[in-house]
Amino acid sequence: MATTKELRQRAKRSWADPEIKSRILLGQEKAREAKRLSGPSVSDRFWARVRKDATPEGCWLWQGNLNNKGYGSIRIKPKRAGGPTLVHRYAYELLVGPIPEGKELDHLCKNRHCVSPAHLEVVTRSENCSRGNSGHAWALHQRAKTHCPQGHPYDLLNTYFPPRGGRQCRICRRETIRRLRAYGHGFTTPRGDVVCHSEEEVFRAVGLLYVPPERRE
């Protein structure tokens, strides 16, 4: 009877064989696919995460995963066959029909995780962008700020208006210019993984206590 050590060595030799390795991976893929097919259908998983009475406007809100842009997503195909599918596109194709090539869906309700076909319209890319209000909303959000991220006020004396538009804090702008003149665009620590813009930052990055030059012995 083979010992545990011998069995491990056999397994290691088998895994090193490309043909055996490919067979193992194929078997694992088939097992995952069988498990997926034996579970709930895509349609069942989709409707289980849709809430139709969430808003007075009649939005069908997706209660599942949302991507970084706020759109709902669901996995239909295996991971090797592609990434997740956007749920509003899936809902439209399921209940209405295929989306024409080169076209996309615009949310008339402006609710990105709504999957109601009544709130979706097939449009071109340029039309969808022209209807969007995300840029306007972002501009209003920025204008409402009274202080910069460092806490300096956006008042008449401390606000710089670049020629290309926007606004900048004068105190932070002067500090950025000073750092660039003294240290260029930064340099890495001896570990090579942290970009620093001053001597003090280098000391802190490597875990040392910073002492100003005038106080050093």
* pLDDT > 60? residue 194: no
Tell me the average pLDDT across 119-133. Answer: 79
Span 52-90, pLDDT tens digits: 887 788 889 999 888 878 888 888 766 656 678 899 999
Residue 186 lies in a domain: yes
Q: Tell which of 132, 159, 175 closes a domain.
A: 132
Instruction: Dump pLDDT digits (tens) for 26-52.
Output: 766 766 666 665 567 788 888 888 988
User: Does the predicted TM-score (pTM) go above 0.75?
Assistant: no
- Mean pLDDT of the residues in the chain: 76
Question: Same domain, yes or no, for 84 and 154?
Answer: no
Asked if pLDDT for residue 208 goes beyond 80, the answer is no
* Residue 179, both tokens: 């750092």
Backbone angles phi, psi at 91, to 5 degrees: -65, -40
The closest alpha carbon to 88, from 102, 104, 77, belongs to 104
For strands 61-62 and 50-51, give the pairing: antiparallel
Domain extent at residue 157:
138-209
| Residue 161, domain member (yes or no) | yes
More confident residue, 75 or 136: 75
Cβ-proximal residues to 143 (8 Å cutoff; 6+ apart), any chain: none
> Does 126 lie in the same domain as 101?
yes
